[in-house]
Amino acid sequence: MKSNFLKECGAMNPYVVYEKYINEKKLAPDIYLFMDHYDIPIFEAPEKAKQSINAFFQAKYGMFYCQNNAKKGVYPDYFPSIINFFERNPKQLKKTWTLAVMNAIADKSIDYEDLKKY
């Protein structure tokens, strides 16, 4: 049964939606420039960025979070264990965390004043 399913449907890419809209290779120079200026520890960010960062990780790992949370306006705390599971390389983990923080800046959840301590 399982093999027939795979033959008909092919391999599944759980990041297909994320990859459709986010090109991390194209963003890499900006991410690394931001990382050169700010040393934001992984899983630490200004409190008011929490909802935006949660939304980022729901978008990236959506199928691994509870369904329909965004529709309900529920953004649970991001799950470091899930993020660590998929971002096993420490450099990639730092890059992904930085992108999440940059997303919070882009949606105006935080501003550069909030980043002074970093």
Can you give the three-state secondary structure of 71-113, one letter per residue? HHCCCCCCCHHHHHHHCCCHHHHHHHHHHHHHHHHHCCCCCHH
**Amino acid (one-letter) located at 39:** D
Q: How confident is the model at residue 10 (pLDDT cuts 50, 70, 90)?
A: low
Contact call for residues 29 and 84 (beta carbons, < 8 A): no
Contact call for residues 46 and 105 (beta carbons, < 8 A): no
Model confidence over 33-81: pLDDT tens digits? 999 999 999 998 888 888 888 888 878 876 555 555 555 555 556 778 8
pTM over 0.95: no
